[in-house]
C-alpha cells in the first residue's frame, strides 16, 4: 500500500468525521486479515498486520480495523491536525 495515499485518505476521513480525532480506548492486535481498513479503505490481507481499535464508549464509530501502518498514520494525524 501507498503511504502517501493512505495519509490523504485518513486525513479526509478525519475531516469528514468518519474517524474520530483521538478517543482511543483500546487496541487489540489482529493478524488474521479480512475486511477492509478503516483508514485507507483497502482490503487487509492475511499478510498484513492489523489492529482492531475500539474508541471511547459513545464515540461513533465504536470500533475500526486498521492496517498497522494506517493506525500509526491516524495517531500521527490526530496529534498534528487541528479541526478547522
Ligand atoms: Zn489501511
* Domain coordinates in residue numbering, the chain: 3-80
80 CA distance to ligand 1 centroid (A)? 19
Return the percent helix, strand and coil in the chain, to nearest 5. 30, 25, 45
Mean pLDDT of 48-63: 93
Query: CA 69 to CA 71: how far, in whole Å?
Result: 5
13 CA distance to ligand 1 centroid (A)? 12
pLDDT tens for each residue of 4-40: 999 999 999 999 999 999 999 999 987 777 889 999 9
Is 83 a residue whose pLDDT tops 60? no
Three-state secondary structure call for residue 46: coil
Three-state secondary structure call for residue 70: helix
Is 59 a residue whose pLDDT tops 70? yes
Phi/psi at 3 (5° precision): -65, -45
- Sheet strand arrangement including 63-67: 24-30, 50-55, 63-67
84 CA distance to ligand 1 centroid (A)? 24
Amino acid at each position: 500500500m501507498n503511504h502517501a495515499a493512505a495519509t490523504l485518505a485518513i486525513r479526509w476521513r478525519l475531516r469528514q468525521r468518519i474517524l474520530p480525532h483521538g478517543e482511543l480506548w483500546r487496541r487489540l492486535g489482529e493478524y488474521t486479515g479480512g475486511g477492509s481498513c478503516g483508514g485507507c479503505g483497502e482490503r487487509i490481507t492475511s499478510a498484513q498486520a492489523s489492529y482492531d481499535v475500539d474508541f471511547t464508549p459513545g464515540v461513533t464509530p465504536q470500533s475500526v480495523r486498521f492496517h498497522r501502518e494506517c493506525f500509526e498514520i491516524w495517531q500521527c494525524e490526530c496529534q498534528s491536525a487541528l479541526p478547522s
